[in-house]
Chain A
Amino acid sequence: MSHLRVDLRQRAEELVALYPRARSAMLPLLHLVQEQDGYVTEAGIAEVAALTGTTTADVRGTASFYEMFHLEPVGKYVVSVCTNIACLLSGGLEMLEHASQALGCTVGETSEDGLFTLEEAECLADCDIAPCVQVNHRYVRTTTPEAFDQMVGELRTGRRDHEIPSHGTLIRVRRAGGLRVTNAEVVEQRASAKAERDERAKESA
């Protein structure tokens, strides 16, 4: 019995098929687990290990290396405030302090209602709109405390959910077309395409 939902399990199998080696699908698969469970769960780790032909130790060892994978539950909205150099020069530390008060939790903690987890982020590459804030890795572009508070109010009432999907959802666009073709197929297609082209060249000549 698969831990992943039917649709996610199908996407997971497609992902594995996309790479020459199954283990390469590790990061995208862990993102799928987070999409379903909100964080990287034990059951999710076991399923990723089975899908990639690795052990749960391999999966946990890899997941724990990457900042975006949470090995413990997080809030519905993960709020990341950047305080790196460009944001530091534009009030990033002050924004982080404000966010901590507004959300009612310190950095790395989740608010009591389970809605928010606050993170101090490293540069999020949006430095011309500083200080930079992301919610569930979507840029919200609130650079003042007032704008931040308004955004939080909208999150609380669910009015931003159409643009800010639940935590862990990374790519809402599903891959379509051109699944990895085997080398033999490529050779065959090349030969037939070349034959067709030669045919066309002969006709036009």
Chain B
Amino acid sequence: MAVLDAPRIVTSRIALEDSYTLARYLETGGYEGLRRALSMYPEAVAREVDEASLLGRGGAGFPAGRKWSMMRRSPVSYLVVNGDESEPATFKDHLLIERDPHQLLEGVIIAAYALQVDLAFIYVRGEFALGLERMQQAVNDAYEHGALGSGIFDSDYSLDVVIHPGAGAYICGEETALIEGLEGKRGFPRIKPPFFPAAVGLYGEPTIVNNVETMSNVPWIILNGGAAFAALGEGRSTGTRLFALAGRVKQPGVYEIEMVKNTFRDLIYDPALGGGIIGDKAIKAFIPGGVSAPWFGPDLLDLPLGQDEVADKGSMLGSGSVVVFDETSCVVRAAWRITKFFAKESCGQCTPCREGSGWIERAMYRMEHGGGRMEDLDLLLDLCDNLAPGLGWPPQQTTICVLGSSIPSSVHSAIAMFRDEFALHVREGRCPFD
């Protein structure tokens, strides 16, 4: 049975019709966390977040408090919020931006205060037209309310927040590519080292880049204390987390549940969550954390939803997106479509990614559309190996950013788990699921 008694930290308002308005936000305890934070020393605010052991919710899972502590001291520094949610089947940040923009903004203001920056950017994915409007309205209302601008709530702290619209590029979810986009350039990830924008970021100045969900947790942490947050979940995976459930389930959606206390089976089958597979069919496989993650079979359904637990089994919780395949789903088609996505979104800087993604996509297309040969399996694995040598997890990197090494995950998983289905495609000269 699923454990559902944890408080709703970031989704407490989303069911309310006017959840995105300032009036509703203030009625439901809004900006109280900010008032509390402004009464504390900035270092004390950062310490609470560190104590909460809040792991970044964007995909890499780096502790937010530690990231903040790495910020190089400089007279000019920036906070950038990554709202360029584009990982396929991930739709949690979209929900937070559209349904609770003030909560995100309050988190940003508190974080900016802790970091003592006076200019913050919220990079919102361009395709979120409504989200951009709600975010801009929230910023306008916050200025009017005195929660933004000079002398916030009569303190001596001043901050400006700029809403920056993206323009359609998956790669801009990578933090250094996002910074390039914010500098008005193509979204090319930057060469590492320096590894962290906290040292060299926007305009070469120290910059902290945090995810939308990470920021949205901050007001609750300040109001209730880092210890209360850390008391939820287990081990390194503290607090609650948003899981975006999609694919062949009866009730797809975004669910906020306590980390580790629940399993993938709970998420997919509990009547209060996924509600089981459409038509009560058998589950074939699932992706545990976005299309960059290796797939799991039904044997791992009872694995707890925790960062380390999933990593131990050779995949990742990543962006918190869980995609379910049932017995009617063609895994060859699925892996082909995922590769097609990567081939389109590769920024083109590094040869293994630019060329490799296209080669894999063409071989997978051939396989799915009836032109496949058995030799193609070795060819595909060889191509995957070129992108992520050894095909281990976490993958070896041959490219500037991790997009390249993420490409093999789906194809390698599909071949490793469903070699028979590839053989069937080859033998029948067509997709058996058509």
Q: Contacts A27-B165, A31-B126, A125-B90: A85 and B337 contacting too (C-beta < 8 A)?
A: yes
Chain A residues near B127 (CB, 8 Å)? Answer: 68, 124-125, 134, 137
A123 contacts partner chain B, Cβ-Cβ < 8 Å: yes
Contact across chains for A88 and B337 when beta carbons are under 8 A apart: yes
A18 contacts partner chain B, Cβ-Cβ < 8 Å: yes
Q: Contacts A85-B334, A123-B89: A186 and B118 contacting too (C-beta < 8 A)?
A: yes
How far, in whole Å, are A124 and B170 apart by their CA atoms in the complex? 11
In chain A, positions 151-205 with a C-beta closer than 8 Å to chain B are 169-181, 183, 185-186, 189-194, 196-197
Q: Contacts A21-B183, A89-B334: A122 and B344 contacting too (C-beta < 8 A)?
A: yes
Q: Chain A binding site: helix, strand, loop or mixed by DSSP?
A: loop
B253 contacts partner chain A, Cβ-Cβ < 8 Å: yes
How far, in whole Å, are A118 and B132 apart by their CA atoms in the complex? 23
Smallest Cβ distance from A137 to chain B, in angstroms? 4
Q: Which of B161, B184, B344, B347 contacts A25 (CB 8 A)?
A: B184
In chain A, positions 108-148 with a C-beta closer than 8 Å to chain B are 122-128, 130, 134, 136-139
Number of interface residues, chain A, beta carbon within 8 A: 65
- Tell me the nearest residue of chain B to A179, going by C-beta: B160
Contact across chains for B133 and A85 when beta carbons are under 8 A apart: no
Smallest Cβ distance from B263 to chain A, in angstroms? 21
B189 contacts partner chain A, Cβ-Cβ < 8 Å: no
How far, in whole Å, are A84 and B136 apart by their CA atoms in the complex? 29
Contact across chains for A89 and B126 when beta carbons are under 8 A apart: no
Smallest Cβ distance from A197 to chain B, in angstroms? 7
Known: A86-B246, A123-B87, A123-B90. 10 other contacts (CB 8 A): A62-B185, A66-B187, A122-B344, A127-B89, A127-B91, A138-B129, A173-B140, A178-B150, A189-B150, A190-B158
Contact across chains for B187 and A65 when beta carbons are under 8 A apart: yes
B397 contacts partner chain A, Cβ-Cβ < 8 Å: no
B93 contacts partner chain A, Cβ-Cβ < 8 Å: yes
How far, in whole Å, are A18 and B165 apart by their CA atoms in the complex? 13
Q: Contacts A61-B186, A62-B184, A173-B133: A189 and B91 contacting too (C-beta < 8 A)?
A: no
B44 contacts partner chain A, Cβ-Cβ < 8 Å: no
Contact across chains for B149 and A177 when beta carbons are under 8 A apart: yes
Q: Contacts A24-B182, A27-B164, A193-B156: A85 and B338 contacting too (C-beta < 8 A)?
A: yes
Contact across chains for A128 and B246 when beta carbons are under 8 A apart: yes
Contact across chains for A122 and B88 when beta carbons are under 8 A apart: yes
Q: Which of B130, B149, B169, B244 contacts A67 (CB 8 A)?
A: B169
How far, in whole Å, are A173 and B129 apart by their CA atoms in the complex? 10
Chain B residues near A23 (CB, 8 Å)? Answer: 183-185
A30 contacts partner chain B, Cβ-Cβ < 8 Å: yes
Interface centre among A69, A169, A170 (most CB of B within 10 A): A170
Smallest Cβ distance from B298 to chain A, in angstroms? 16
> Can you give 10 contacting A-B residue pairs, CB < 8 Å?
A27-B165, A62-B185, A66-B168, A85-B338, A88-B337, A123-B87, A139-B130, A171-B136, A190-B157, A193-B155
B329 contacts partner chain A, Cβ-Cβ < 8 Å: yes
Contact across chains for B166 and A27 when beta carbons are under 8 A apart: yes
Provide the B129-170 mask, 1 if CB < 8 A to any CB of A, else 0. Answer: 110110011011001100011110011111011111111111
Chain A residues near B182 (CB, 8 Å)? Answer: 24
Q: How many A-B residue pairs have CB under 8 A?
A: 208
A28 contacts partner chain B, Cβ-Cβ < 8 Å: yes
Number of interface residues, chain B, beta carbon within 8 A: 75
Contact across chains for A84 and B184 when beta carbons are under 8 A apart: no
Chain B residues near A88 (CB, 8 Å)? Answer: 333-334, 337
Contact across chains for B143 and A122 when beta carbons are under 8 A apart: no
Contact across chains for B132 and A52 when beta carbons are under 8 A apart: no
Smallest Cβ distance from A57 to chain B, in angstroms? 12
- Tell me the nearest residue of chain A to B161, going by C-beta: A178
B57 contacts partner chain A, Cβ-Cβ < 8 Å: no
Chain A residues near B149 (CB, 8 Å)? Answer: 177-178, 181
Smallest Cβ distance from B54 to chain A, in angstroms? 22
How far, in whole Å, are A146 and B244 apart by their CA atoms in the complex? 27
Q: Which of B89, B165, B254 contacts A171 (CB 8 A)?
A: B165
Q: Which of A86, A179, A185 contacts B247 (CB 8 A)?
A: A86
Question: Which residues in A have some Cβ–Cβ distance to B below 8 Å?
Answer: 18-21, 23-28, 30-31, 52, 54, 61-62, 65-69, 83-86, 88-90, 122-128, 130, 134, 136-139, 169-181, 183, 185-186, 189-194, 196-197
B106 contacts partner chain A, Cβ-Cβ < 8 Å: no
Contact across chains for B88 and A86 when beta carbons are under 8 A apart: yes
Q: Which of B128, B144, B158, B344 contacts A186 (CB 8 A)?
A: B158
How far, in whole Å, are A87 and B24 apart by their CA atoms in the complex? 33
Provide the B60-101 mask, 1 if CB < 8 A to any CB of A, else 0. Answer: 000000000000000000000000011111110110000000
How far, in whole Å, are A21 and B254 apart by their CA atoms in the complex? 38
B181 contacts partner chain A, Cβ-Cβ < 8 Å: yes
B376 contacts partner chain A, Cβ-Cβ < 8 Å: no
B241 contacts partner chain A, Cβ-Cβ < 8 Å: no
Smallest Cβ distance from B431 to chain A, in angstroms? 11
Smallest Cβ distance from A63 to chain B, in angstroms? 8
B119 contacts partner chain A, Cβ-Cβ < 8 Å: yes
Q: Contacts A31-B126, A67-B169, A171-B132: A125 and B94 contacting too (C-beta < 8 A)?
A: yes
Interface centre among B90, B169, B246 (most CB of A within 10 A): B246
B269 contacts partner chain A, Cβ-Cβ < 8 Å: no
How far, in whole Å, are A64 and B221 apart by their CA atoms in the complex? 42
Contact across chains for B337 and A128 when beta carbons are under 8 A apart: no
Contact across chains for A68 and B167 when beta carbons are under 8 A apart: yes
How far, in whole Å, are A100 and B165 apart by their CA atoms in the complex? 29
Contact across chains for B86 and A125 when beta carbons are under 8 A apart: yes
B403 contacts partner chain A, Cβ-Cβ < 8 Å: no
In chain B, positions 89-124 with a C-beta closer than 8 Å to chain A are 89-91, 93-94, 118-119
Interface centre among A30, A61, A178 (most CB of B within 10 A): A178
